[in-house]
Each structure stands twice: as structure tokens, then as C-alpha cells.
Structure 1
Amino acid sequence: MYANLRFVQNLSFIERRQTQKLGWKKNPTTADIKGIVHPPPRKSIPWKNTPLLVGTVSSENGLACLANPPPGIDVVEIRLDRLLQRGVNPQKVQEALAKKRIPALLTLRTREEGGDFNWKSRQRVLFFLAFLPFADAVDLELSNLPRLRRVLHAVRRARKDLILSSHSLRRKLTPLRLKRLLSEFRRTRAQVYKIVGLARKISDLHDLAQPLFYASHMRLAVLASGRLSVASRLAFPCLGSRLVYVHLDEPAAPGQPGHDASFAFRDLRNLL
């Protein structure tokens, strides 16, 4: 459990000098984690209680939700890319995770996946390894697995849960692309396979929903991005989608609703 902590302490002298020169707000590295923060006990995620409500944290104030989660939230997602982009000291994130009373999902998105932080190639791997002992599950992007093999092996060794994701934020996922995507998913064992696809029209939502019918055995979580994102969060869980994402402080994606959002039947037309 503490192997990764020793790894962080033994980071290269060059990395530490770079941190001193640029400051952690501009170019954070794992060398900014100065003290030893002990990881908390592992918390199991009730994957069978679907749909699970995942609350996303993107700000320093939102970290308080780890110790005081809002009612109904099953998992808190720590968007480390957004936290670092906003200048949050990585040690503060670890300290908040050490006090968590709810399962934590660790996510480090690239900009191509809808993230905020401009990762250097090695930097992202180092942050994954440094924060893995504090998380109960990790979200990895399917297209980045070749660059994250070291992280995937660490996830397996630590027996952390895995969400394997695929984001198509600039073009819609056709039925053929979805079938190919499911075939690629099957090569890597995960607790949940998450698909996020652009949806501009109702027909795009229809295409996105199809895997929930013909591949229901795969434990899928399907969401739309774009104008119909909220509609997908309301409809797809009724069709078997395993996860619903809401934010606990500020939207982590366009159209992401807050955890306390409510909708009336009269609002349905405005969502389509």
C-alpha cells in the first residue's frame, strides 16, 4: 500500500527543482506532496445497486464532500485534472481523500477526453500512481491504455475497481462504431464500461441507447454529451445504464446537472 508513497518521496532532484522554479500552481508535480499522508481504509462500491449516483468534485471547496457527502451520492469522483488546473495543491487533495467517508473514484482526463489539464506524458502516470492508494476505483480511457499500462498493472495489483471509458465528444457514435467499441472493451476486464457520445438529435440518442439492449450483460454506463446530455441522464438509467453523473460543486462537463437538480414533467420538452 505504501510503495507508491515511497516512490513519491524518491522523485528525481530535477523534478523538485522544476517545482521550485515554476511553482505548483503553474506546473504541479508529485514532488509537491511534501508530507506523508496515510491512505484511508478501502471502501467497497455497491456496483449491483444500479444506477449508482456519482458526484463529481472539481474544486477545492468540493473536497469537503468526501467527508460530508450529500444524501443519495454513492461515489465521489475526484477530477484531479480540474483540481490541478485550478491551482489546488495535490497534497490538499490527498489529505481530503484520507478523511473520506464514501468510496472515491479517481479520474485524470486529458483535453481530448473533455479534461482541463495539459498533462505531460510522464506527469499523468506519476499522479495516477501517487493517488491510487487513496482511491477505491479508477477511470481509464480506452484509447489511452497503451500509454497507461503501468497504471493498469498497478490498479490490478492493488485490487482497485476499474471503469473503462470511451469519449467521442466531437462526432456522434454510429451503430457500427458502437459495435467496434464494445469489441475493444471486451479485451480489458472492468467493473463498468462507460460510453460518452455526442448527441445533437433524438436519433443520436436512439443510437447511443442501443447497446443497453443488445449488450446489457456488459455492465454499461452510457451518457450523451452536448445539447441532449441531461435527457440521456434521465432516460438511459431506465434502460439499464449503470451510472448517473452529477456535480457536487460545478459542472465537470457541459450540461452536467447538480446533485440537487429536480425536473418536472413540464420540463421534458425543453430537454429534447
Structure 2
Amino acid sequence: MNFPIEKSLIIVGSISTRYGIKSAFENHLPIDLLEYRLDSILLELSLKEAIAELRGALCCRSLPALLTIRSKKEGGLIELSDSERSDLFERFYPFVDSVDLEWQQLSKIFKVYSLYKKGGKKIILSIHTLDRFLDLDGFVSSLPQIQQLEPDFVKLAVKIENLSQLKALTNLFFSFPDIPWALMGIGDYSTLSRVVLSALGSRLVYGYVDKPAALGQPSVLDLKESFQRLGIIKK
């Protein structure tokens, strides 16, 4: 299934529960891409059950799919070894259109990056700081290495506690305009950051289908209402 890469703003609906797997069949959802948070889904289902239900859903879906298996360090909800995560990414390779891989953990699962890259799947390289604002100087110093890998999106999800931090994040658009950014805040500024950053050019915006996948994450329906009201997307 074609990834909506041509869209200037891609709305991602995050699925974290067994209920979400079933509800995603409803075509009225205002989203362009389904994200399956397997590390969260495995809290409810055994590995065998999760593989069976997810494969069934992915084979019948009407939207492109993104697979995310977050490590504990970056907000994952279940403890998985690097080899276990790699195995899961490889198992689902035939069924998904894109993958979210953590930049700080990439050396441990680099074969997954190679598999998806060679297969023409879209790749998001992400960094999450759930309890603090990002060390932007440190991040910028790593940008040349990230760019060498030619990700389709560079995603930052960071805790924002004040407007100064939000402004600092927006400066990335002006300092590095050629990078396909996906920027968002976590916490009290979650919704505001999504509105501001999407208006400035953040390519991916995340909302939940079933339950928040991060602190303060709005629902996809709330995102749609806010974006239409502000003219970011058409009614």
C-alpha cells in the first residue's frame, strides 16, 4: 500500500490496544497512516496472539501502516531485548509500509534498518526525551550522521515545559529547512506544540485512536477539529 509521502501533513493514528486493532477498520477515522505500537499491544496479548491479530488486521487494512516497537528507554511499555525487537521487526516486514526506529538504539538493530531501507519501506528515525527537554546542541552535532542514513522523516518527541522550549524547537525548521521533520511536544504543551509545529511544516502529527501513546497526546478526532478550525487542513 502506498505511503502518503506526497502530503505536506500526514496525520498518524496511534493504536496501542487490542480494541484499537479492531476499531481501525472503521473508515471514518481522519487519518492518513496507522501506527501500531506493538510494545503496548503486547501488554494485553501474548506474542502469538498479537502476531495473529495484527497480521490479520494488516492484511485487511485500508490505510498504510507504520510499525513501532519502542524500547523502555524511549517510552516503551514492555521489556524486550534487542534481539527480540529485531525479530519482531523482521516478522512484520512483509505486512507494513513504514517503520519507526530509534536513533539512539540504531546500532543495536541496524540490520532492521538495512532490511527496510533495501525493501523501499519508509523509515522514521526518532529520538524521545520523556522527562526533559532535548539537548539541542548534542542533537545538532549528530545530524550529519542521521542525514547520511537518508531517513524519510526525522522525529523528535520531547518534553516541553514552557514556551521558550517550544520556540527553540521551532528554530530547527529555519536552521535545517531541507530535513523532513516530525516534531512534537510531550506533556502540558502536547496539543499546542502539534498545532504550532504542524503549521510551520512538521510532516507527521500523531493522535491516538484508542488511548494516548504519550503523555498529553490528543485524539485524532481532537486533532482534526483543531486543525480544521485553524485552517491547517480543509473541512
TM-score, normalising length: structure 1: 0.77
8 Å contact 1:66–1:102 — kept in the other structure?
A: no
Letter in 2 for 1:95: G
How far apart in 1 are the matches of 2:89 and 2:23?
A: 21
Aligned equivalent of 2:151, options 173, 177, 190 = 190
Pick from 231, 235, 244 the counterpart of residue 196 of structure 2: 235
**2:16 match:** 58
Aligned-partner residue type, residue 221 of structure 1: A
Cα distance between partner residues in 1 of 2:34 and 2:17 = 13
Q: In the alignment, which of 29, 35, 40 is matched to residue 82 of structure 1?
A: 40
1:102-160 Cα shifts (integer Å, max 9, x gaps):
10000000111111011023111111100111100000000111111111121123221
Evaluate the alpha carbon distance shift between residue 70 and residue 118 of structure 1 in structure 2; reply closer, same or farther with a 3 A threshold. Answer: farther
Residue 134 of structure 2 aligns to a residue whose secondary structure is coil
Q: How does 1:1-272 map to 2 (within 5 A)?
A: 43-87=1-45, 89-90=49-50, 91-261=52-222, 262-263=225-226
Aligned to 2:79, the other structure's residue is in SS state coil
Partner of 1:15: none
Q: What is the CA-CA distance between 1:170 and the residue it aligns to?
A: 2.4
Identity %: 31
User: Contact (CA 8 Å) 2:126, 2:155: kept in 1 or not?
Assistant: yes
Residues 66 and 101 of structure 1 are in contact (CA less than 8 Å); yes or no, is this contact kept in structure 2?
no
Equivalent residues of 2:190, 2:218 under 8 A apart: no
Matched to 2:157, the amino acid is: V
Of structures 1 and 2, the one scoring higher in RCO (CA 8 A, sep 6+) is 2
Deviations 1:34-68 (A, max 9, x none): xxxxxxxxx11122212100000011111124433
Give the superposition deviation at 1:93: 1.1
How large is the Cα RMSD of the aligned pairs? 1.6
* CA deviation map 1:206-253 (0-9, x unaligned): 111111122121111111112211111111011111011000111011
Contact preservation (8 Å) 1:173, 1:207: no
Tell me by how many angstroms 1:185 deviates.
Answer: 1.8
In structure 1, the gaps of 5 or more residues are 1-42, 265-272
SS in 2 for 1:204: helix
Rounded to whole Å, the distance in 2 between the matches of 1:126 and 1:113 is 19
Secondary structure of residue in 2 paired with 1:68: coil
Partner SS, residue 217 of structure 1: coil
1:131 partner amino acid: F
Cα separation, partners in 2 of 1:170 and 1:187, compared to 1, 3 Å: farther
- Matched residue type, 1:248: V
C-alpha contact 1:178 1:211 (8 A) present in aligned 2? no
Separation (CA, whole Å) in 2 of partners of 1:226 and 1:177: 22
The CA deviation at 1:263 is 4.6
* TM-score for both structures, normalised by structure 2: 0.89
Supply the AA of the counterpart residue of 1:242: R
How many Å apart are 1:183 and its aligned residue?
2.8
Aligned partner of 2:147: which letter? R
Runs (4 or more) in structure 1 with deviation over 4 Å come to: none
- Compare CA radii of gyration and give the structure with the larger one: 1
